[in-house]
Amino acid sequence: MDDSFLDRLKKEGIGKSTSHLFVYRYPDSDQMSPFDREEFAKDLEKSGKKVGELAFYLHIPFCSSICSYCHYFKQGIGKKGEIEAFLKGIQREISTYSQLIGKELEASSVLFGGGTPTSLEANSLNELMLFLRGSFRIPKKVEASIESSPETISFEKLVLLRQNFNRMSIGIQDFNDRVLKECNRNHDKEKALHSIKEARRAGFESINIDLIYGLPKQGIEGWKNSLNEVEAIQPESVTASDLRVREGTAFFARNKEEFASDKELIEMHSMFLNKMEGLGYKQLFPYQFVKKGQRMLFLENQWASGEYLGFGPSSCSFFNKWDYNNVFPTDKYLKDVEESGLACAVGKKLSMEDQMIRFVALGLKDCKKGVDKNIFKKKFALSLEEKFGKTIALLESLSLVKQSEKSLKLSRKGILFYDSVSRKFFPKN
C-alpha cells in the first residue's frame, strides 16, 4: 500500500494505529448520560417485551496477572471472600433481570469473558452457568464460550468446564517468550501449546486462539512465526487483534517507537488475512477466521445489532433499544447490586438516528453479510443510500467499501481500516 494512498486516507480521517478506538457500539461510552433505571423499567413495561432471543455476556474481572496492553476492566485474583462476594453479586444481578424481563427470553449464545474467567475454580464457573440456566431459557446445545489463559487451565479443570461450556477461547497473544514477557503474560510458548492440546483432549471441539499484532519486540518476522504456529495447530477459529495502546495500561507510558508503525500494522493485518485464506479458513469479521462449519454466534449477534444482556462490572448491554453499561470497579458494582439489584452506570434509549448509525457501523464488521439494504429499509423506512449516500460515495471512491443491490460490505482494503471506516458513519467524522 503506497504512501500517497495512505496520505489520502489520512486526510479523510482514516488510518490504522495503536491509538485508534475499537468500534463496538454507538454512541461511544463517554457520550452516554447516567442510566435512568426508572425510565428503562417504564419503557420495558410499555413494550411488553417478554419473548425473543438474546445473547448473554458475563464479565469475570479476575486475572492471574495484569497484562501490559489490557485496557478492559480487570483486577488481581483476590482472596476467597472477594470471589465469593462477586459470585453472590452477579447472581443477584441475574435474578433481578430474570424478574424484570421474565424467563421466556431464550439465549442465542453465552460468553464468559473478562478478565480471565478461568482464574476462578471450575466449580464456581459451572455453578454460575447453572444459575444462569435456571434464570433464563438456555437451549442445551447453545454456543457457550469461555475465555481463558494458558496458565489458568489444566486438563482436570477443562474436563469439568466441558460439562457446561462447548467453546474454549485461549489467549495466546504471541508464541515468542520474549514478547510474552514484555506483555507481562504468565505463560510461555510451551505452556500455550500444551493448553491447546489439553483443551482438545478434554473434549472441546471448538477452540479459538487469540493473538495480538504490533507488540513490542514482535516485528514482522516474529508475527510471521506466530502465524506459522497457527498453521501447525489448526484451531477451529483464530482472532488476531491489532494492539491498542490506551491510557491506564502499562504500555501507555512506553516510547511509541517500541510499537509497530502504522504501515507495519497494515502489513501484519494483511499477512494474517493472506495466511488464513491460504489455509482455507473462512473470514467472518475483519480480524476473525473460522474453519468450515464453525461460527461465532455471540459476535454475529452483536454486529447484527442483536440484543444482549451483560452481567458483572463494566459489562455492556443492548436491550429493548437501550444501549448501556455497568459501573466498575467491583466494589462499586457490588454495592449497587446489593442496593437495587442492578448496577447500570451510563446509557440511553437510542433514537432512530442512533439506531441507523449503529446498524451500519457495526454491520460493516460482518465481512460475509455486510449491511443488508433490505433490512435497513424495512427497519428505518428509508434506503441506505438516502441516509448515508454521501458517506458511501466517499468510501467507494477510496475503494474501502463495495456494494450491490442487496448489501454494503468492506472491500479488502476496507477490512484493514475497519474501525476508521465504521466511524465515518458517526456524526462529525
pLDDT tens digits, one per residue of 55-97: 999 999 999 999 999 999 999 987 889 999 999 999 999 999 9
- Are the beta carbons of 100 and 41 closer than 8 angstroms? yes
Determine the 3-state secondary structure of 382 from DSSP. coil
Instruction: Write down all domains in the chain, each with its CATH number in brackets.
Output: 1-26+356-429 (1.10.10.920), 31-303 (3.20.20.70)
pLDDT attached to residue 51: 60
pLDDT attached to residue 78: 78
d(CA 225, CA 233): 13
What residues contact 6, with CB distance under 8 A and at least 6 apart?
A: 15, 262, 263
pTM score of the predicted model? 0.95
- Rounded mean pLDDT of the chain? 95
Largest CA distance in the chain: 58
pLDDT attached to residue 9: 96
Counted residue by residue, the chain has a size of: 429
Per-residue pLDDT of the chain (429 residues; tens, 9 = 90+): 889 999 999 999 999 999 888 999 999 998 899 999 899 988 888 887 666 789 999 999 999 999 999 999 999 987 889 999 999 999 999 999 999 887 778 899 999 999 999 999 999 999 999 999 999 999 999 999 999 999 999 999 999 999 999 999 999 999 999 999 999 999 999 999 999 999 999 999 999 999 999 999 999 999 999 999 999 999 999 999 999 999 999 999 999 999 999 999 999 999 999 999 999 999 999 999 999 999 999 999 999 999 999 999 999 999 999 999 999 999 999 999 999 999 999 999 999 999 999 999 999 999 999 999 999 999 999 999 999 999 999 999 999 999 999 999 999 999 999 999 999 999 975
> What b/e string do you get for 126-141 counting C-beta neighbours within 10 Å, with b at 16 or more?
bebbeebbebbebeee
pLDDT attached to residue 106: 87
d(CA 163, CA 160): 6
pLDDT attached to residue 49: 63
Residue pLDDT, tens place only, 36-50: 989 998 888 888 766
Cell of 296: 461465532
Alpha-carbon dihedral 25, 30, 33, 36, rounded to 10 degrees: 60
Residue pLDDT, tens place only, 202-214: 999 999 999 999 9
pLDDT attached to residue 241: 96
SS3 content of the chain, % helix, strand, coil (to 5): 45, 20, 35
In the numeric block, the cell 477443562 is attached to 158
pLDDT attached to residue 79: 83
